[in-house]
């Protein structure tokens, strides 16, 4: 079993999600249709039962080391604002990262701040060589977050995923350990 770390940034705590987060997870996902439109396997509407099932999957991922999902909390208030996850492919020393925030937290720099912390965790703690992420074409803001964190556009993948009853194109970004610079992203207050 992999130990449960707590990652800190200037404004955020990144910790494994807990049962006490279930109502907040459900409320934040339901705060906008953008989350299920831009993230796989999130039904719309999202129910408390969906959150309970997902939490069990999160804990199994931590136990097996196959996925590290962090609840994002405002450091001052402790309020849950979103999630970020790292999904390693250990035999290749790489991982995919994905994230989402509740609607009221968009545009404040939280996603970039969390991404920088998870990149550090992936490269320094998990000794990964490559971390990559994709975003659907209708979500260019996510690509901007990736670029600000130092990730480079790696390619455009046509009809890469079947999501919400249609084939979706995605942009893929990555960063190699040799390219990574442990810099701090300052968010907007």
pLDDT-derived band at 189 (thresholds 50, 70, 90) equals very low
Write the pLDDT tens digit of every residue in 32-88: 889 989 988 888 899 999 999 999 999 999 889 899 999 999 999 999 999 999 999
pLDDT(185) > 60: no
Contact 168, 162 (CB under 8 A): yes
DSSP class of residue 17 equals -
**Mean pLDDT value across residues 8-12:** 96
**How much is the pLDDT for 1?**
56
**How much is the pLDDT for 40?**
80
**How much is the pLDDT for 188?**
44
Write the pLDDT tens digit of every residue in 106-131: 999 999 999 999 999 999 999 999 99
Question: What CATH number should be reported for the domain whose range is 7-131?
Answer: 3.40.630.30
Residue 132: strand pairing partners? 96, 174
For residue 33, what are the contacts with CB-CB under 8 A and spacing of at least 6? 44
For residue 141, what are the contacts with CB-CB under 8 A and spacing of at least 6? 106
Nearest to 69 by CA among 127, 2, 130, 124: 2
Q: What SS3 state is found at 49? A: helix
The tokens for 109 are 């720099």
């Amino acid at each position: 079993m992999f130990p449960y770390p707590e990652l800190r940034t200037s404004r955020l705590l990144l910790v494994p999600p807990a049962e006490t987060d279930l109502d907040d997870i459900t409320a934040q996902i339901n705060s906008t249709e953008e989350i299920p439109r831009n993230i796989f396997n999130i039904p719309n509407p999202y129910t408390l039962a969906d959150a309970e099932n997902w939490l069990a999957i999160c804990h199994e991922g931590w136990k097996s080391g196959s996925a590290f999902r962090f609840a994002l909390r405002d450091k001052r208030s402790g309020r849950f604002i979103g999630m970020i996850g790292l999904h390693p492919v250990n035999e290749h020393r790489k991982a995919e990262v994905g994230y989402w925030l509740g609607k009221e937290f968009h545009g404040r720099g939280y996603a970039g701040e969390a991404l920088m912390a998870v990149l550090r965790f992936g490269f320094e703690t998990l000794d990964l060589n490559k971390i990559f992420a994709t975003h659907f074409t209708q979500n260019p803001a996510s690509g901007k977050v990736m670029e600000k964190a130092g990730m480079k556009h790696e390619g455009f993948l046509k009809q890469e995923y079947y999501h919400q009853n249609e084939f979706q194109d995605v942009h893929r970004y990555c960063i190699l350990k040799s390219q990574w610079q442990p810099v701090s992203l300052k968010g907007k207050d």
